[in-house]
Structure 1
Amino acid sequence: MKYFILLFVIICFAGCSKSTGVMSIGKDNYMISTDVSTEFYAPSDAVKKSIEEATLYCNSLDKDIFVENIQNTNNDNNISSNCTLIFQCVDKK
């Protein structure tokens, strides 16, 4: 139930952010890319939103997230920030 509440909160605040959603990029490897408007969010919020969505995805599989790579970039005018996150969902210990 708590995951549904968290998902609802994320959706409510998603108006100024865009996400590709979780995409499979190979066996047990996933990627998500998130853009946020720096008018409403700090540039680091792109990373936070990507990790939150990836964690929800892994939790839905009853697994934990393992982050392989994070790239966070700002556009030239500092109007938006983008995060590309590559991760795996691994068995819980």
Structure 2
Amino acid sequence: MAAKKGRSAVAALINGAGFLLAALLVLHIVFVVTGFPAENGLAQSVAQAAEPLALFFPGLVQAPGEVLQVLLDYGLAAVFWVLVGGVLARVFG
């Protein structure tokens, strides 16, 4: 009986998409935490893309500081996208 050696291309694509969405959210977190100028075009583009990807997570947990709030809001969303990508990759792979 032959063992399945690798994942299918569809599973790899789904897993990669989930990782890219999470990476975009983490990039937004890095920009906010490091104080990257919000007027910068790259920072604006990343913030605009990260906003809808955060889904229902912003405001779900209240934090005392702005930096911690951004970490929670977008960090939880990043973990969500990695998990969803992994689960969907396993289902379709």
| Larger relative contact order (CA 8 Å, sep ≥ 6) | 2
Question: Could you say which structure has the higher strand fraction?
Answer: 1
For the pair shown, the structure with the greater C-alpha radius of gyration is 2
TM range (shorter): under 0.3
Question: Could you say which structure has the higher helix fraction?
Answer: 2
Question: TM-score, normalised on structure 1?
Answer: 0.27
